[in-house]
Amino acid sequence: MAYNNYYFYDEEDCKFVPVHYQGLERMAFTASLWILCGVVFAGVAIVSLSSFAGTPSEIALKAENQELVKQLKKTKSTIEGLDNKVSNLAETDNEIFRSMLGMDAISYDERKAGAGGADIYSNFDVYDEETSQILKWTANNLDNLERRINIQKTSFEEVKKYYNNNRNKMMHIPAIRPVKGIILSGFGMRYHPILKYRRMHEGVDFRAKVGTPVHATGDGIVKYAKRKGTFGRYLVIDHGFGLKSSYAHLSAFKKGIKPGTKVKRGEVVAFTGSSGLTEGPHLHYQVMKNGKPVDPLNYLFGDITPDEYAMYQEIAKNNPNSMD
């Protein structure tokens, strides 16, 4: 079979002359042509793919960067959580520790510990915008968190030093739980279970069975130890420094407890009950500062953990009823 599809130009005769191949030669030529075209097209495809998607190493690096960005976002969430905890700790330090000890509070601006000036994190600008912003935020907030923690550490050292220098006063502060039970109701407006209306609840209610020992929450002198209206059997301890604590709905006083008796923090002074106007056995506990009731939870720092304190606050916040 003859093939007349290919020609060459004869410059002497100025005309195209057909090229005649044998069958095997024709097949070899055609195969070579297709292979050459395939190589060219494959090269073009690889170059195009590399331009848009990147080389295999670039693709792997891109995937790795995406994973790192994801981890940085998780780290950001963790830092935000730590920041909130440090803020809560600072608030507790100001409103409880420093307030009770009569120390000056540390201002918010001072605790914030901002570091102004030039952009000290501009070295992150070499990355893409999203990565750069996350890295800057993380670095800035970690530095800020470290400064705030150092300020808080210094504050606690000041509180500790003040406590050691004023140990006598500290022993008179009503700083422990009067009973070991959990609280049932907190300080503030509450619905009275017997009177059936909302009124100011000027203390906290602790869960306790009848006969549970009640402990003095700070050193002091007994000022009142007898029945008093809706409080039933009622005990008041004067701790000095403008502080008093009271214990209501008792079943009995410990032998020897009477007005004028000196007591020590942790000493058993009475036993719980349900005397007076109450829904059931429990201890109603109050703290007065300069004659005015204050939230006893703000003074419970001597024998409870931060987790217990947070739990007490949660119960006090969410329970709308009181036991008395």
Task: Assess whether pLDDT exceeds 80 at residue 63.
Answer: no
Taking the C-alpha atoms of residue 296 and residue 177, their distance in angstroms, rounded to an integer, is 9
Domain ranges of the chain: 7-53, 67-165, 183-318
Task: Assess whether pLDDT exceeds 90 at residue 226.
Answer: yes
Query: 124 phi and psi, to 5 degrees?
Result: -85, -5
What's the pLDDT tens digit per position in 151-160? 888 888 888 8
Determine the pLDDT at residue 197: 83
Among 196-200, 242-246, 265-269, where is mean pLDDT lowest?
196-200
Task: Assess whether pLDDT exceeds 90 at residue 248.
Answer: yes
CATH of domain 183-318: 2.70.70.10
What's the pLDDT tens digit per position in 197-222? 888 899 999 999 999 999 999 999 99
pLDDT band at 48 (very low <50, low <70, confident <90, very high): low
What's the pLDDT tens digit per position in 96-142? 677 767 778 888 778 776 655 556 677 777 777 777 787 888 888 88
Determine the pLDDT at residue 266: 95
Question: In b/e form, how buried is each residue of 135-162, taking b as 16+ CB within 10 angstroms?
Answer: bbbbebbeebbeebeebbeebeebbeeb
Q: What is the mean pLDDT of residues 212-236?
A: 96
Q: Which comes out higher in pLDDT, residue 258 or 143?
A: 258
Residue 160 neighbours by CB under 8 Å, 6+ apart = none
Determine the pLDDT at residue 64: 64
Determine the pLDDT at residue 23: 62
Nearest by Cα to 144 from 90, 98, 95: 90
How much is the pTM?
0.59
Residue 192 neighbours by CB under 8 Å, 6+ apart = 198, 199, 322, 324
What's the pLDDT tens digit per position in 174-190? 999 999 888 999 998 99
Nearest by Cα to 175 from 101, 235, 270: 101
Taking the C-alpha atoms of residue 287 and residue 295, their distance in angstroms, rounded to an integer, is 7
Q: Which comes out higher in pLDDT, residue 210 or 76?
A: 210
Amino acid at 39: V
pLDDT band at 47 (very low <50, low <70, confident <90, very high): low
What's the pLDDT tens digit per position in 2-19? 445 566 666 777 777 676
Determine the pLDDT at residue 3: 46
Q: Which helix (H) or strand (E) holds 226?
A: strand 220-227
